[in-house]
A and B are shown apart, each in its own frame.
Chain A
Amino acid sequence: MGVEFPDPGRTPPAPRPSRVRAAWIPLSFLGPAFALLTVWMIYPAIRTILRSLWSNQGNKFVWFQNYSTMFGDSVIHTAIKNNIIWIAVGPLSVTLFGLVLAVLTERIAWASFFKIVLFMPLAVSLFAVGVIWRIMYQQNPDQGAVNAGLNSIHNVFNTPGVLPRAAPSSPAVTDKFVFTKQLSAGGTATLGLTAISPQDVPAGATQAAQPKSKPGSITGVVWRDFKPGGGKPGVVEQGELGIPGVTVALLQNGKSTNTAKTDNHGAFTFDGVSGSGYQVKIAPATFAQPWQGVQWLGPSLITPAMIIAFLWTAVGFAMVVIGAGLSAIPRDVLEAARTDGASEFQVFKRVTVPLLMPVLTVVFVTQMIGVLKIFDIIYATAPGSVINNATTLTFEMWRRSFLGENAFGIGAAIASFLMLLFVPFLIYQVRSQRKNL
């Protein structure tokens, strides 16, 4: 074919034909585009700025009152704060992550497969992305995959206790779960517990037994001191289950000297005990609460959570664009640096990154614009209860204008302010193209 796509970010100069044509010819080519752009973009943009000077109903000219209302609104403060977080974190993470992956994929044979996988979310609507991550972010580690993953790591370091809650069954055990009687070698302890609901009894629990004295040891039992119809508190009876897996601590002068775990009958033994003055206590680890999960969709983490969802969609784009830039770097430049004795990291820092700067800038700016326009992810990911914590200017503009109150005055003011934020990008864009005209 012979016609190639131009380099990213560069505009080839327009060829100058020799003849100047009659005016109606360019007009007939440009007319439809001109009409659409005027009616759907230029007119509305001007109209929005003018509208922002009128009251919400549009019947009163209020000068800049909408702007002062807007900047005095605490939800809009949150929106601006969130916009700053998005801008500060999003584009930089996408670009850096994309750069690292682009460099690493250069070294593997299955790069094209990897790229398809990372690129794929770009084809999915941001609305569906929001739904996808809302499913991922459910708080209960049994429902949300993110917390399920974190939970499995968490459990390596903190095993949840065998019982969520319990209470001593008789005054023989204090409310700190210490057996009140002082014990010496050969002594026995009966630690009765109540207020354990049937579904909380650990699996494998079997009939408890009165502990038998054993010389040189302290023995005991931890059991569910309850049976239908009552029973005697503090006494092990038929139909009462031992509680397995309970951590029991042996205390001497108030200090823990040894621990043991109960078996399926709830029995435990401390061997090699001599002398007296011992106490037995159920360790707090027994009642350690299972991990509740990170509240991703709660008020404080909702914005970081949505930024992660955004990374999922955007990193593939950055990686592919940067990867193409990387492949355009002449191999001999890199080889020359290597023969001069530069380490791989030095080559990366001193040669690759500077040569990639134009591409990195394009990716970064594209992501800045994308992040400022973010809307669908917020709508689909943030539950109604945290919308005021998740909102951004684009979202707030839409919400004030079209959700219930139809406050077009404030909406137009937010839109105009938003446009002001886009002006630097507009200038950047125009300048980067005009120098090539």
Chain B
Amino acid sequence: MAVAEVRQPALRDEAHETLAVRIAKLPVHLFLLLIGIMWLIPAAGLFVTSLLPAATANARGWWHVFSKPSEVTFANYRMIFHNSAITHALVVTAEVTIGATILPILIASLAAYALAWIEFPGRDWAFVTVVGLMVVPIQMALIPIFSLYNTLNLYDTVLGLILFHTAFALPFAIFLLRNFFAGIPRDLMEAARIDGASEWRLFFKVVLPLGLPAIAALAIFQVLFVWNDFLVGFTLSQDNQPIAAALAGQLRQFGSNLDVIAPASFFSAVIPLTVFALFQRYFVQGLLAGSVK
């Protein structure tokens, strides 16, 4: 699949390796195989647990199912899809994710364009401020925003969550897009300007289409980040919480309710995993373009 994009050429051509070289490499293969298995086991554990009745999952480890496969059931999944608290949380998660992906990309590409291609006083300082804001932790904003949201009636709303995620996504988004836009050949921009194109026209007709790879990378980052959010949703909403926050209450009886928490956790991971699997080429590219988040 697509990680192959960043894969480097093998040190020596595999086909021409001598037997001795292959044998010498055997420990490397075994070591990496072991690591790979160790990496798969925890996720497999969650998946298998999600298919077991609560009593079974609580009494014995999930691997015992391999000696008694008849216990596997999809009843847990049927149950969580009929649980209105969980389906509502999934809908909220989807709404927040869509809003908090489109909005920051739109706003950040405008700002990034100005920072890359429009000359104005204080531009470098504006960019440096954006870079500095990339490091600010969410905790720094929670208390004042919590009070502000109570005043503005944004507490427990999808819009409130979207705006919060959008603001905190902006520094990294502007940083990534500005650096990408700055790489557009100067001749291209000058030519368009000589033809009399306005800044808006340049932005929509030249910069945005050329910036698509970076925008795609950013979109994937943002989908993963917002979908997987726990802290913001848990703090700034109550009845309209996204999925991770909605599941938090379940942790108090951890064990007896594995039939809810395991399938819901696994299902909540399916969407980001799918996005990741489909678009990982962009994801990895964006990552390599200097991610500090």
CB distance from A374 to the nearest CB of B (A): 11
Contact of B140 with A12 in the complex, beta carbons under 8 Å = no
Contact of A125 with B111 in the complex, beta carbons under 8 Å = no
> In the assembled complex, which residues on chain A have CB atoms less than 8 Å from the CB atom of B195?
none
Q: Which of B68-76, B77-85, B247-255 participates in binding chain A?
A: B247-255
- Contact mask for chain A residues 416-437; partner B; CB cutoff 8 A; 1 contact, 0 none: 0011001001100110011001
Contact of A124 with B247 in the complex, beta carbons under 8 Å = no
Which residue on chain B has the smallest CB distance to residue A136?
Answer: B42
Contact of A41 with B10 in the complex, beta carbons under 8 Å = no
CB distance from B276 to the nearest CB of A (A): 4
> In the assembled complex, which residues on chain A have CB atoms less than 8 Å from the CB atom of B120?
20-21, 23, 26
Contacts of A121-175 to chain B: CB distance below 8 A: 121-128, 131-136, 138, 142-145, 148
Contact of B268 with A143 in the complex, beta carbons under 8 Å = no
B28, B43, B252: the one contacting A121 at CB < 8 Å is: B43
A40, A104, A131, A397: the one contacting B139 at CB < 8 Å is: A397
Check A55 for interface membership: any CB of B closer than 8 A.
no
Contact of B289 with A5 in the complex, beta carbons under 8 Å = yes
Interchain CA distance A43-B136 in the complex, whole Å:
12
Contact of A30 with B230 in the complex, beta carbons under 8 Å = no
> In the assembled complex, which residues on chain B have CB atoms less than 8 Å from the CB atom of A11?
179, 182
CB distance from B277 to the nearest CB of A (A): 8
Interchain CA distance A369-B139 in the complex, whole Å:
13
Contacts of B265-293 to chain A: CB distance below 8 A: 265-266, 268-269, 272-273, 275-277, 280, 284-293
Contact of A108 with B199 in the complex, beta carbons under 8 Å = no
Contact of A373 with B137 in the complex, beta carbons under 8 Å = yes
CB distance from A85 to the nearest CB of B (A): 19
Check A107 for interface membership: any CB of B closer than 8 A.
yes
Contact of A40 with B167 in the complex, beta carbons under 8 Å = yes
Interchain CA distance A309-B92 in the complex, whole Å:
28
Contact of A123 with B272 in the complex, beta carbons under 8 Å = yes
> In the assembled complex, which residues on chain A have CB atoms less than 8 Å from the CB atom of B110?
29-30, 32-33
Take A15-B117, A120-B43, A127-B230 as given contacts and tell me if A138 and B61 are in contact as well, using a CB distance cutoff of 8 Å.
yes
Check A181 for interface membership: any CB of B closer than 8 A.
no
- Contact mask for chain B residues 200-212; partner A; CB cutoff 8 A; 1 contact, 0 none: 0001000000110
> In the assembled complex, which residues on chain B have CB atoms less than 8 Å from the CB atom of A236?
none
> In the assembled complex, which residues on chain B have CB atoms less than 8 Å from the CB atom of A93?
none
Report the tally of A-B residue pairs with Cβ distances under 8 A. 368
Interchain CA distance A48-B142 in the complex, whole Å:
9
Which residue on chain A has the smallest CB distance to residue B188?
Answer: A2
Interchain CA distance A36-B90 in the complex, whole Å:
26
CB distance from A148 to the nearest CB of B (A): 6
> In the assembled complex, which residues on chain A have CB atoms less than 8 Å from the CB atom of B43?
120-121, 124, 132
Interface centre among A40, A48, A317 (most CB of B within 10 A): A40
Contact of B141 with A45 in the complex, beta carbons under 8 Å = yes
Check B213 for interface membership: any CB of A closer than 8 A.
yes
A23, A107, A412: the one contacting B143 at CB < 8 Å is: A412
Interface centre among A18, A117, A316, A366 (most CB of B within 10 A): A117
> In the assembled complex, which residues on chain B have CB atoms less than 8 Å from the CB atom of A44?
140-145, 148
Q: Which of A68-76, A189-197, A318-326 participates in binding chain B?
A: A318-326
Contact of A107 with B11 in the complex, beta carbons under 8 Å = yes
Contact of B111 with A109 in the complex, beta carbons under 8 Å = no
- A-B contact list, 16 entries, CB within 8 Å: A2-B185, A3-B211, A5-B214, A12-B179, A14-B123, A17-B193, A41-B140, A41-B168, A44-B141, A104-B28, A108-B10, A120-B276, A148-B63, A375-B231, A379-B248, A415-B137
Which A positions have Cβ atoms within 8 angstroms of B?
1-21, 23, 25-26, 29-30, 32-34, 36-37, 39-45, 47-48, 51, 101, 104-109, 111-112, 114-128, 131-136, 138, 142-145, 148, 312, 316-317, 320-321, 323-324, 326-327, 362, 365-366, 369, 372-373, 375-376, 379-380, 383-384, 394, 397-398, 401-402, 408, 411-412, 414-415, 418-419, 422, 425-426, 429-430, 433-434, 437
Which B positions have Cβ atoms within 8 angstroms of A?
1, 3-4, 6-11, 14, 25, 28-29, 31-32, 35-36, 39-43, 45-46, 49, 59-64, 107-108, 110-111, 113-120, 123-124, 126-128, 130-146, 148, 163-164, 166-168, 170-171, 174-175, 178-180, 182-186, 189-190, 193, 199, 203, 210-211, 213-214, 224, 227-231, 235, 244, 247-248, 251-252, 254, 258, 261-262, 265-266, 268-269, 272-273, 275-277, 280, 284-293
The 3 closest A-B pairs by CB, nearest first: A327-B8, A40-B167, A125-B228
